Chain A
Amino acid sequence: MVLSGWEAVFFWVFSIAAIFAGLLTVMARNTIHSALFLISALVSVAALFILLHAEFIAGVQILVYVGGVMVLFLFVIMLVNVGSEERGSEEIFNRPRQVTTSVIFCALLVAGLVYAVNKGYEGLQGRDQGKIEAAAEQAQSRDRNLPRSATGTSGITNDSQRLGGVLYRFGSLPFEIASVLLLVAIIGSVMLARTLKQEAAVDDVDPDVLQKEATHDAELAEVQQEPIE
């Protein structure tokens, strides 16, 4: 897997964009700005996925992360009060000693990981040299046989088709379990985000707690007097 020409240019553009957007996500004072920078980091990573011939994952990333999860984040940011952070009256980082320690730790981790990746990749390359060359020839002949697109300028790959086939053939049980996980997540977040009044309306609160809260909340007292049967 060696990129060259324009692919290499796009690789550097999108990887530098992803890293800078990631850094700004962590360092931005305004939480909304953080969320927007995270969106640009996720879009850059999706572009890197396309360079790696994973078009389906890139599409899922844009739809689920950018279209779903980040919109949820933006809604929650608007629900909670972050005004003091924006005005600069609150410190956005932990105390200096903790920040220094964690930055030193992260620098060591960067050095270790970059060294390990370079060292390990040399060994991997040495081991797989023959296989890569043999597979490259096969891939070239396969690419020539791909159906052409409507404009005739490029081939239509079958990567997504292969992914779908493997997902349903070998991963159908985890796929079903993932759907149950999503169902649990929906129910869990609805349960967690209820107010005390909503909980009282379905008679889901400890009576003592309700009694105590009702003394200084008129609406709760009403709910308490006329429970839903």
Chain B
Amino acid sequence: MQFLLPKLFSPAFALLFQEATGGHLATAWQKAQHPDLSKFLIIGALLFIIGVAGVLTRRNIIVIFMSIELILNAANLNFIAMSRYLQDTGSVNAVAGQIFAVFVIVVAAAEAAIGLGIVIALYRNKETIWVDEIDILKW
């Protein structure tokens, strides 16, 4: 990326740009060239919230399950980013985060198998996959 910028903007234009934005964008660009732990955590947070939004807004129970997989994956990304950070700071048990990620994947696989079994049983009895029509327990 650092070799693309000089070609796109001539140095004089870059200087003008930096003056006009008060240096904020330039420092942001500097930070974007060197992504660190916080960038990974923010990507993880965004994926998590996309998953939460999917669970809250969709009516299709299978898409809700897929959103839950997205949430678990965002948690995995955080675990592994933190594990890498601990490796860099020379921590004692630095790969604990990766081991947690393995167990999260195992539990996600078990959850998917059971959940989809429930979806099949539900569809056989109620003939629907819309969560707002599955309300036998409501009254």
Contacts and interface: CB of A to CB of B under 8 A. Distances in A.
Nearest to B52: A106
A139 B40 CA distance: 21
B38 A118 contact: yes
Main SS of chain B's interface residues?
helix
B110 A76 contact: no
A184 B124 CA distance: 22
Interface in B62-98: 62-63, 65-67, 69-70, 73, 76-77, 80-81, 83-85, 87-90, 93, 95-96, 98
A102 interface: yes
B24 interface: no
Interface residues of B, number: 77
A34 B98 CA distance: 28
A68 B106 CA distance: 11
B43 A131 contact: no
B42 A192 contact: no
Interface in A76-90: 76-77, 79-82, 85, 90
Contacts of A163: 95, 98-99
Main SS of chain A's interface residues?
helix
Contacts of B101: 54, 57
Nearest to A76: B116
A103 B50 CA distance: 10
Given A1-B88, A54-B83, A56-B98, 11 more contacts: A1-B85, A3-B36, A26-B50, A38-B69, A48-B40, A73-B66, A82-B129, A85-B60, A99-B57, A106-B49, A182-B110
9 contacts: A25-B70, A26-B54, A41-B47, A52-B40, A52-B83, A57-B105, A73-B116, A93-B59, A99-B56
